[in-house]
């Protein structure tokens, strides 16, 4: 009902974008009913944002209505390494960064160049779906450093039938970029550089959304199942909004959670505890950045509405999974840090993830631990395809089809002992500048996000432990007062997961965590046995 009310409000207010057909609004008002799984192969539309915070969903009414009210919202969808390129490779392959070898945004252990050199693009969810008969299209930001060495601007990664990604220019700013496109019927398959300038029609989010819509229409006309992947640069800085959104949110205040400018950081690791108290002038600066980010997301929100409307008009909405997420989260003043990512805190690792589609209960809330290692296995499973390797992640089909709880309008469920108990967090210290001073870098770390706790071990020897049930904003580092049995068990689990691969990752993630000394001893024996008999 909330979805229908919000849609009617949007219709009356005129906020529906021009690409959204009012004629399809009645179809969307009926979309709250769960669609039966389609007999034919389902299609997929994936929308990926860049550096989006979970709290930013509050400013995206179309996403909330069409995907949240019309599908499932995951409360704990985690980016195992909250940084652009490593996270994007993990999404493509379903593997933790310690298995992809892409740890940062640039060589020698990161960026497109590393992914290309390691042959990671040769087997992804895109190649799997293409082999299964899907037509596939990628639009927008790809991997940091693309095109780079390995084929230059003409290079198209395996698995993509259509690949429209900027090869030069300033796409982060929304304008002045170049795409390689098929522009002449006389040369089918040949791609030529097409420059985009600084007019309103050149705005990157709108261009990529329009090309995604055209790709979908062509696939439907050809009777082909499709995978359309729209990857926006928003709200990554400079977070340039579309001209029509520049004057919005002039008085918008930044969300001031208890972690914003945290009063006492003395219990945190040195890279945080040494930060000075936040001054009012800097808080205002963060607020301006927040407004700009929110403005830039309005075109993304409109793009989702336009594409869902196009699917409805084409008669393909009920057989298409629409997935929305971000590569990583972002902090804006949390724990006294300025703006950035890569920290193990919830602001950075817990990202939006919403799905609507065949069999997905409308209005469902899923509290289970899920993450970016799960996207590839999920898409491949739903498509009836196969990956040529064993991914670290798992399919979320049981949650999407209500097999483990989280039905329509129900309270969030986490699956209890029948689902993942822990998810690995990892970070290699590279060239990141995570705060406003540019002097402090987040040390390397390995950690866990469990159903209840966040536990982190830094390369410096420092540790953090937060009980999210009583401290969701991660204000009190309880490592000093924690039960030694719990800390020991968490540390052993980190040690085991940091080198895991494939089925072993999933087995380790599924092992219950102990709550007593006796259970801790049994847990240690289980891990020792698993090490001897993988």
Confidence band, pLDDT 50/70/90 cuts, at residue 20? very low
Is 347 within the bounds of a domain?
yes
Q: Which two tokens stand for residue 86?
A: 């490593």
CA atoms within 13 A on the CB side of 358: 17
CA distances from 407 to 38, 72, 317, 362, 413 (A): 19, 9, 20, 8, 9
Q: Specify which residues 455 forms β-bridges with.
A: 448, 465
Is 488 within the bounds of a domain?
yes
CB 132, CB 384: distance < 8 Å: yes
Average pLDDT over the chain reads 89
> How close are the terminal C-alpha atoms of the chain, in Å?
49
User: Which SS3 state, helix, strand or coil, does residue 324 take?
Assistant: strand
Q: Which two tokens stand for residue 328?
A: 């990583």
DSSP character string of 439-463: ---PPPEEEEEESSEEEEEETTS-E
Give ∠ CA 176-208-242 in degrees, rounded to 5. 60
Find the CATH number of the domain harbouring 223: 3.40.720.10
CB 494, CB 448: distance < 8 Å: yes
User: Which SS3 state, helix, strand or coil, does residue 216 take?
Assistant: helix
CA distances from 83 to 50, 123, 205, 327, 459 (A): 10, 21, 21, 7, 18
Q: What is the pLDDT of residues 160-207, one digit of tens each?
A: 999 999 999 999 999 999 999 988 777 888 899 999 999 999 999 999
With b for 16 or more beta-carbon neighbours within 10 A and e for fewer, the 166-177 pattern comes to bbebebbebbbb
CB 106, CB 196: distance < 8 Å: no
pLDDT higher for 61 or 439? Answer: 61
Mean pLDDT for the stretch of residues 56-72: 98
Q: Which two tokens stand for residue 228?
A: 């359309």
Average the pLDDT over each of 94-98, 190-194, 507-511 and give the range with the smallest value: 190-194
- Does residue 383 have a pLDDT over 80? yes
Same domain, 379 and 494: no
Q: Indicate the helix (H) or strand (E) that contains 313.
A: helix 280-313
Percent helix, strand and coil across the chain, each to the nearest 5: 35, 15, 45
CA distances from 191 to 15, 183, 215, 216, 364 (A): 37, 7, 16, 20, 43
User: Considering only CA atoms, which of 343, 169, 326 is closest in space to residue 236?
Assistant: 326
CB 121, CB 157: distance < 8 Å: yes
Same domain, 270 and 341: yes
- From CA 383, how far away is CA 397, in angstroms rounded? 11
The H-assigned helical ranges of 314-368 are 346-349
CB 326, CB 48: distance < 8 Å: yes
pLDDT higher for 9 or 216? Answer: 216
Where does a domain end: 400, 417, 434? 417
pLDDT reported for residue 407: 54
Is 203 within the bounds of a domain?
yes
Q: What is the pLDDT of residues 40-52, one digit of tens each?
A: 899 999 999 999 9
Same domain, 371 and 448: no
Confidence band, pLDDT 50/70/90 cuts, at residue 11? very low
Where does a domain end: 394, 417, 440? 417
The one catalytic residue in 24, 84, 85, 505 is 84
pLDDT reported for residue 517: 46
Contacts of 388 (CB under 8 A, 6+ apart): 123, 128
- From CA 394, how far away is CA 18, in angstroms rounded? 38
Q: What is the pLDDT of residues 328-348, one digit of tens each?
A: 999 999 999 999 999 999 999
Same domain, 243 and 327: yes
Is 2 within the bounds of a domain?
no
Find the CATH number of the domain harbouring 489: 3.30.1120.10
pLDDT reported for residue 408: 57
Is 26 within the bounds of a domain?
no
Confidence band, pLDDT 50/70/90 cuts, at residue 298? very high
CA distances from 148 to 30, 107, 166, 255 (A): 47, 11, 12, 38
What is the C-alpha R_g of the chain? 22
- Does residue 381 have a pLDDT over 90? yes
Confidence band, pLDDT 50/70/90 cuts, at residue 430? low
Q: Indicate the helix (H) or strand (E) that contains 225.
A: none
Same domain, 390 and 471: no
Q: Indicate the helix (H) or strand (E) that contains 104.
A: none
CA distances from 410 to 72, 255, 361, 367 (A): 11, 27, 10, 11
- From CA 148, how far away is CA 82, in angstroms rounded? 23
Same domain, 337 and 208: yes
Is 171 within the bounds of a domain?
yes
pLDDT reported for residue 18: 40
Q: What is the pLDDT of residues 233-267, one digit of tens each?
A: 999 999 999 999 999 999 999 999 999 999 999 99
The H-assigned helical ranges of 392-501 are 397-400, 484-497
- 24: annotated active-site residue: no
pLDDT reported for residue 491: 98
- Does residue 424 have a pLDDT over 70? yes
Confidence band, pLDDT 50/70/90 cuts, at residue 436? very low
pLDDT reported for residue 24: 43
Where does a domain end: 391, 417, 443? 417
Mean pLDDT for the stretch of residues 131-140: 99
Rounded percentage of the chain residues whose pLDDT exceeds 70: 85
Is 10 within the bounds of a domain?
no
Same domain, 428 and 409: no
pLDDT reported for residue 316: 98
Note if the bond before 329 is cis, omega within 30 degrees: no
Same domain, 387 and 496: no
Mean pLDDT for the stretch of residues 459-464: 98
Same domain, 521 and 409: no
CA distances from 322 to 113, 140, 203, 243 (A): 30, 17, 23, 27
Q: How many domains does the chain have?
A: 2
Same domain, 433 and 403: no
Range of the domain at 468: 423-532
Same domain, 354 and 455: no
Note if the bond before 206 is cis, omega within 30 degrees: no
Confidence band, pLDDT 50/70/90 cuts, at residue 415? confident
Same domain, 260 and 409: yes
Is 20 within the bounds of a domain?
no
């Amino acid at each position: 009902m909330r979805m229908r009310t919000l849609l009617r409000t949007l219709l009356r207010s005129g906020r529906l974008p021009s690409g959204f057909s009012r004629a399809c609004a009645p179809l969307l008002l009926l979309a709250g009913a769960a669609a039966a799984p389609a007999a034919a192969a389902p299609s997929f539309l994936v929308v990926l944002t860049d550096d989006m915070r979970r709290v930013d969903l509050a400013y995206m009414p179309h996403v909330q209505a069409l995907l949240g009210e019309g599908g499932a919202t995951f409360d704990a969808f985690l980016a195992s390494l909250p940084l652009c390129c490593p996270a994007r490779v993990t999404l493509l392959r379903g593997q933790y960064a310690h298995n992809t070898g892409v740890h940062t945004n640039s060589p020698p252990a990161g960026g497109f160049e590393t992914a290309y050199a390691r042959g990671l693009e040769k087997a992804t969810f895109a190649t799997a779906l293409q082999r299964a008969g899907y037509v596939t299209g990628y639009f927008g930001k790809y991997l940091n450093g693309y095109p780079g060495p390995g084929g230059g601007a003409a290079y198209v990664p395996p698995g993509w039938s259509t690949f429209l990604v900027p090869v030069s220019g300033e796409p982060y700013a929304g304008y002045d970029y170049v795409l390689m496109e098929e522009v002449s019927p006389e040369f089918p398959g040949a791609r030529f550089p097409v420059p985009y300038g600084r007019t309103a029609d050149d705005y990157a989010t709108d261009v990529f959304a329009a090309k995604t819509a055209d790709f979908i229409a062509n696939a439907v006309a050809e009777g082909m199942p499709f995978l359309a992947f729209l990857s926006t640069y928003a709200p990554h800085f400079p977070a340039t909004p579309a001209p029509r959104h520049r004057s919005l949110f002039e008085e918008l205040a930044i969300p001031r959670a208890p972690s914003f400018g945290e009063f006492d950081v003395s219990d945190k690791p040195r890279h945080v505890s040494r930060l000075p108290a936040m001054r009012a002038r800097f808080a205002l600066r963060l607020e301006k950045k927040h407004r700009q980010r929110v403005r830039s997301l309005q075109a993304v929100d409109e793009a989702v509405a336009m594409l869902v409307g196009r699917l409805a008009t084409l008669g393909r909405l009920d057989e298409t999974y629409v997935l929305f997420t971000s590569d990583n989260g972002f902090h804006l003043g949390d724990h006294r840090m300025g703006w950035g990512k890569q920290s193990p805190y919830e602001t950075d690792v817990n990202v939006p993830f919403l799905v609507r589609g065949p069999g997905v209960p409308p209005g469902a809330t899923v509290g289970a631990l899920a993450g970016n290692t799960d996207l590839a296995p999920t898409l491949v499973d739903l498509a009836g395809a196969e990956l040529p390797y064993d991914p670290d992640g798992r399919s979320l089909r049981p949650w999407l089809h209500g097999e483990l709880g989280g039905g329509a309008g129900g309270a969030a469920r986490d699956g209890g002992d029948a689902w993942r108990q822990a998810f690995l967090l990892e970070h290699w210290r590279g060239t990141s500048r995570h705060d406003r001073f540019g002097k402090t870098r987040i040390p390397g770390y390995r950690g866990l996000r469990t159903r209840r706790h966040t536990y982190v071990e830094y390369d410096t020897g420092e540790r953090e432990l937060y009980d999210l049930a009583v401290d969701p904003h991660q204000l009190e580092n309880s490592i000093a007062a924690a039960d030694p049995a719990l800390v020991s068990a968490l540390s052993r689990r980190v040690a085991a997961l940091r080198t895991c691969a494939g089925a072993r990752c999933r087995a380790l993630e599924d092992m219950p965590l102990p709550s007593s000394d006796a259970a801790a001893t049994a847990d240690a024996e289980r891990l020792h046995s698993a090490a001897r008999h993988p």
